[in-house]
Amino acid sequence: MRDAGIEAPQREARLLMAVASGLTTSDLIIRGHQPVPASLADTFHAIVARRAAREPFQHIARTASFFGLDLVSDRRALVPRADSEVVVEAALALLPEGRDARVVDLGTGSGCLLAALLATRTELTGIGLDASSDAADLARENVERLGLGNRARILTGSWTEWTGWADVDLVISNPPYINAATIASLDPEVRLHDPLDALDGGEDGLAAYREIVMLARAGLRAGVPIVFEIGFDQRSSVSGLMADAGFIGLGSSRDLAGNDRVVWAFQAES
């Protein structure tokens, strides 16, 4: 796998063996002196070949860890990534604790943002909206597996057609934000396996933000926050879109790598 450009290939090999065998990495260490059955060796070599072809590890394992939750992950939506956890943290900081509130996750994908919010705050209910029926099915599967189905509704449709803006207390979104011209240069795990419509943000990467900001400004109640995940170089441009639309109280935060990752603002009085 090293020749395929995989970082930390030995670590990934151990994890792939855990996937192939159904054992924990601790169990594998304990059994390290034992011979590997031929059938297990065949399974292991097959999934190593998939990873060497740059299929995401999460797709092979069919699971991704996010905000302490184990989520199903496959080609139907973006792989949940640790960078997005700071988006959840920012949203939680904007929601008063202990108070019932309704959130909406626009472009919910795997449902990771919505699930993390609802799992952390039991007083929250929410809607996950995605234009892709495949992504919506995956999000629905995840919230049901996590026991959140009674507090989460997953809808298939475009945010341009959604009519519930006046009924929510927070909007959160990780919209498509990759400049269309740069998609071909992304890592193969992303370029070949993540859905294109979840990546392509148009000519300048801002098309989805423009739509959501316009719709939110027209539909949200005063004081309701909107929280966006952004690309590392988009803080000023997305914040500018929100300020120009009349949102107030703009803020931002960075991910663990020190990159700008979140911007937020509040609906102003009409």
Q: How confident is the model at residue 80 (pLDDT cuts 50, 70, 90)?
A: very high
Segment 233-246 shows an average pLDDT of 98
Tell me the torsion sign for CA atoms 219, 93, 201, 244: positive
CB contact set of 264 (below 8 Å; sequence gap of 6+) = 90, 91, 94, 225, 226, 227, 228, 249, 250, 251, 252
pLDDT score recorded for residue 17: 86
Q: Decide the pairing of beta strands 170-173 and 101-106.
A: parallel
Quickly state the pLDDT bin for 12 (edges 50, 70, 90).
confident
User: In this structure, are residues 185 and 118 in contact, taking their beta carbons and an 8 Å threshold?
Assistant: no
Asked if pLDDT for residue 26 goes beyond 90, the answer is no
83 is in an annotated binding site: no
Question: What domains can be seen in the chain, in order of their start residue?
Answer: 2-53 (no CATH), 75-266 (3.40.50.150)
Is 223 marked within a binding site? no
Ligand-binding annotation for 110, yes or no, is yes
Is 24 a known ligand-binding residue? no
Task: Give the three-class secondary structure for 85.
Answer: helix
Determine whether the annotation assigns residue 130 to a binding site. Answer: yes
Q: pLDDT value at position 14?
A: 87
User: Is 188 assigned a ligand-binding role in the annotation?
Assistant: no
Average pLDDT over residues 30-36: 78
Q: Which two tokens stand for residue 227?
A: 């929280």
Q: What share of the chain has pLDDT > 70, as a percent?
A: 99
- 146 and 69 in contact (C-beta within 8 Å)? yes
Name the band, by pLDDT with cuts 50, 70 and 90, for residue 41: confident
Report the pLDDT value the prediction gives residue 157, as an integer from 0 to 100.
97
Provide the pLDDT confidence category of residue 1 given band limits of 50, 70 and 90.
Answer: low
Q: Provide the mean pLDDT of the chain.
A: 94
pLDDT tens-place string over residues 111-168: 999 999 999 999 999 999 999 999 999 999 999 999 999 999 999 999 999 999 999 9
pLDDT in tens, 178-218: 999 999 999 999 999 999 999 999 999 999 999 999 999 99
Tokens of 66: 């996010």
Residue 219 marked in a binding site:
no
